[in-house]
Amino acid sequence: MIFIDPLFFCAVKPTASLFFYDQYLFKMKTLKLFIAVLAIALNINTANAQITKAEVQVSGLTCSLCSKATEKALFGLNFVGDIKVDLNRNVFVLTFKKDMPVNFDQISKKVQGAGFSINSLKATFDFDKVKVINSYFNYAGDTYRVVNGTNPTMTGPVALTVVDKGFAPANVVKKYAVTTPDNAGKTGRVYHVAI
């Protein structure tokens, strides 16, 4: 008796018995299911926004030693790959490691721990395969709300400025203050960002 192998589409002649052939088919079906689940999981992973870099302007820096202390603190974050410092503008350009979730609150804590505060944080998000729905998108378990513009279409790298207290000057926070509550059911912290 000859059977058709469903995985490789070729003729197979079982040598022992039909029982062993049934086990073989079960293993092949399990393998196909595993490959399908893995493909779906990889597709979901690549559908998230990726933060590639951020410009963090720090207020209170008075000398290069202050800058070095802040730089050393920021290098302590596991998702920071590289830092370039512009002392004239008090800006730290952080480049993030690929596929590592970035946490803005941790960046803020490190800057504050060094004795300074964030004056502005502008992050570059890569929006390949990400949809912004009702001005919201998700990243690394947190929710981001775009406060200027309704349902903006974003593709590729887009620079967004965090306009929450602790990440922007008081006048910017007031300008973009959200008058409507964030929708219930959003995951993690809700950051407010402007294009």
Q: Is 114 exposed, middle or buried (0-12, 13-18, 19+ CB in 10 A)?
A: buried
Distance (Å, whole) CA 154 – CA 177: 22
pLDDT at 156: 85
Give per-residue pLDDT as tens, 28-86. Answer: 666 565 555 444 444 443 334 588 999 999 998 888 888 999 999 999 999 999 999 99
pLDDT at 62: 86
With residues binned 3-state (H G I as helix, E B as strand, rest as coil), the percentages for the chain, rounded to 5, are 30, 30, 40
SS3 label, residue 157: strand
Using 50, 70 and 90 to split pLDDT, how confident is the model at 8?
Answer: low
**DSSP type of residue 183:** P
Give per-residue pLDDT as tens, 86-118. Answer: 988 999 999 999 888 999 999 999 999 999 999
Within 13 Å of residue 54, how many CA atoms lie on the same side as its CB?
Answer: 26
Helix (H) or strand (E) holding 194: strand 190-194
Can you read off the two tokens belonging to residue 32?
């196909």
SS3 label, residue 60: coil
Give per-residue pLDDT as tens, 117-162. Answer: 999 999 999 888 677 888 888 888 888 888 887 666 778 888 999 9
